Structure 1
Amino acid sequence: MEKRTGIDSGVELGTTIEVTELHDSVREDFGSPKFQKRLLLELQLAQQNALQNKLHITLNGTALNAQPIGLLASKSLKPVFIEEEFEVNNSVVFVKLYAGIAMPDPAKAGWYVYCNGRLILEADQTNVTGWRESGLESSEKDAGVQYHNDFARFRGYVYFESADTSKLPWNTTKTGVDVDTPIYRKVRGIMISAMTPVLGFLRKLTKEARETDETHFEEHVSRANLTAISELSTQTVFSYPEPPQDDKKPKPTMISFKRDPEEVKRVKEHLGVRTNREVGEKTYEYYMTMEEIQ
């Protein structure tokens, strides 16, 4: 390990870590461009806080880039931002929690947990962060929702900060969450409460796209901008507008029936349509017209 200093001022510029004696298998890994790229991306993600605070990090001469974390937000679509302080055995733990939506990506959906700027849990979709897992029993108070790709837009971020690192909810190797710490149990409950309305919104967004011709929720999502979490205002509950109620206009009714696939295929060709939904709509319209039903 080598510390570099300025030539005249003696001011420390940084630290260089160089490892020269590697096992053959490790040397092969580091010689692989794919491994180097994956390592760069993992370091970039794990050190986002440090990078955003202007720390300069390079890997084999390649600089890591800061990629600000953001959530979709607008005047009508407001992500959760909660700040709390917890006293833990005469020490203070500061917590910042964010929850909302971003671009759909199942690999990135879930909770991200940081302790003193270090990422210790990435895109978690397990019971550790309040999701329900198949095969696990959940108590009434702990009844989360099982992850599904309908929730691919969900993002949650929790930051624990403390001068006393022993009070942070990480394990002994500082590579994961210690779920049994009192501070984490408290915050996990807040995470579930913050996540629930976001998932409710995503259910409505999915249902709207699959079952109706309405675009109310989708329009609000498309008008929202990806906003850095550092720019978000305090918001204890995820907020979004419900569609306006029109008492004069009854809600559409769904009609469903099954037919032989070959018959349906021939009807599609005859009507010049491609989907089963269009077959149903066209045949319904035909019946209404032929029977002169107003």
Structure 2
Amino acid sequence: MPARDSIKALPTKAFFVEMLVRDIPVENAVLDLVDNCIDGARRLRPEEGAEYSGLTVTVKFDRERFLIEDNCGGFDVAKAETYAFRFGRPSDADATPHSIGQFGVGMKRALFKFGRYFEVSSTTPKERWSMHVDVAEWLADEEGWTFSFDDVTPGEFGPDELGTRIEVRNLRSEVAARFASPRTDRQLAEMIRSHQGQFLARGLRVTFNGRELSAADLSVRSGGKFNPGIESLMFDEGSGAPVTIKLIVGVSDPSPAKAGWYVVCNRRVIVAADRTELTGWGTAGESRGLPKYHNDYARFRGVVFFDCDDAGKVPWNTTKTGLDDAATVWQQAYDRMIEHSRSVFEFLNELANDVAEHGGERSRLLKALTDDTVLTDVGEFGAVDQRFEWDKEPRKLAPKTIGIHYWREESKIEALKGILGVGSAKAVGENSFDWMYRTRVGDDE
């Protein structure tokens, strides 16, 4: 038997693909593809605070196929060759600053997760290309870990032609069943609204199974003597890619479903309305901890933004759907979140006591909050640090009034008009009431 000096340890394609797709939910795979479209939008308009009006993402699916297409600039043959279709992102690959999808495994994982056949095409200002992959045929060729272009066409292409189109057919049976479910349709629409709300709010148009999605509302009350707490921090400031952290904490209209902390990484919401120990709730037994949630805190809103050119430094997990709470950058933000939360809880406890004592209609604090403030989107607040502030001496309410309605003979009303020197039956009633009050009760002090 001839001597051997090495063992071939390459995985089979079938094993590799099954491991790649096994643990990612269908919904998260769809979000990965939407992320890639949004990265295209950010490459087109990289300036801070950019608006995305005119850019669109269209998602359609049913039992037979999945389709996503955009007009967000496309990606060229070089990107397709060097990393878009490679399993894992090479360390020297160009990155999209502040990206959310990173062409690491997300796109390939989604395509293999969904079905057994897919087509991808993309157009940039200088070229157009397309490919198709029959997954069964590709898996059968154990030696060939490549994908072949169907067509590559150099040229000059106008803005209306730019973008990427992906279609998957011959869906896996379990995926076909999910895509046929109205529940999946509703869940995915809400996930996209929540996770990509920062982009929807800036004009990006996402059409989902024929309907346009709107941005999920994320706002706090501001005005009068009420202002949200705001703090900006920098993490790893000495590096070439520091992480910018911004906290906004305040109160909004009462909604148990919306109350809590929101965590936004590179403008993608990865944690929404959290009221668990993850963001400090229910830690009152710890030093400077916070109480458990109850409905007195239904007005609480807190948002922490993490933004970095290097997407690997913000505290999200590998699927960008949850938080890596062991990350050092998260721990730095967490301590400040707790501190700001305590100020808001102090106000909400005072508000609850005032309402309990006087009732909602006679609560001076609630009246000041609702009359003196307006709902303001969290994206409109600047980077000026400030503590959460509230009106600790709300103005006194006017005495409560009720109406009096009665009928008397017209001739008698007319006679009193002349005596009192007034011109209406209403004025007769008011003056006669005031006269009776003064003579029987006395003047108000």
What band does the TM-score fall into relative to the shorter chain?
0.7 to 0.9
The corresponding residue for 1:199 is 345
Contact 1:5 1:13 in 2 (8 A): yes
Contact 2:232 2:385 in 1 (8 A): no
Question: How far has the Cα of 1:47 moved from its partner?
Answer: 0.5
Asked if 1:151 corresponds to 2:297, the answer is: yes
- TM-score normalised per structure 2: 0.50
The 1:245–1:222 alpha-carbon spacing in structure 2 relative to 1, beyond 3 Å, is: closer
Asked if 1:127 corresponds to 2:254, the answer is: no
Give 1:39-50 correspondences, 5 Å limit.
Answer: 39-50=188-199
Question: How far has the Cα of 1:218 moved from its partner?
Answer: 0.5
1:140 match: secondary structure: coil
Long gaps (5+) in structure 1: 247-294
- TM-score normalised per structure 1: 0.74
Contact 1:112 1:119 in 2 (8 A): yes
The 1:231–1:173 alpha-carbon spacing in structure 2 relative to 1, beyond 3 Å, is: closer
Q: Structure 1: which amino acid aligns with 2:212?
A: A
Name the count of aligned residue pairs.
242
The 1:34–1:177 alpha-carbon spacing in structure 2 relative to 1, beyond 3 Å, is: closer
Question: How far has the Cα of 1:235 moved from its partner?
Answer: 4.5
CA RMSD in angstroms comes to: 2.6
1:19 match: secondary structure: strand
Residues 14-37 of structure 1 deviation map (CA, whole Å, 9 limit, x = unaligned): 333333232334323322334312
Question: How far has the Cα of 1:195 moved from its partner?
Answer: 1.0
Kindly report structure 1 stretches of 4+ aligned residues shifted beyond 4 Å: 4-8
| Match of residue 319, structure 2, among 170, 173, 192 | 173
2:322 match: secondary structure: coil
Question: How far apart in 2 are the matches of 1:40 and 1:113?
Answer: 19
Question: How far has the Cα of 1:158 moved from its partner?
Answer: 0.9
| Match of residue 69, structure 1, among 218, 221, 225 | 218
Question: How far has the Cα of 1:42 moved from its partner?
Answer: 1.4
Contact 2:364 2:394 in 1 (8 A): no
The corresponding residue for 1:277 is none
Question: How far apart in 1 are the matches of 2:165 and 2:254?
Answer: 38
The corresponding residue for 2:233 is 84
The corresponding residue for 1:252 is none
Structure index of larger Rg: 2
Q: Which has the higher contact order (CA 8 A, sep 6+)?
A: 1
The corresponding residue for 1:14 is 163
Percent pairwise identity: 34
The 1:162–1:145 alpha-carbon spacing in structure 2 relative to 1, beyond 3 Å, is: same
Question: How far has the Cα of 1:56 moved from its partner?
Answer: 2.6
The corresponding residue for 2:370 is 222
The 1:95–1:118 alpha-carbon spacing in structure 2 relative to 1, beyond 3 Å, is: same
The corresponding residue for 2:263 is 113
Long gaps (5+) in structure 2: 1-119, 129-155, 397-445
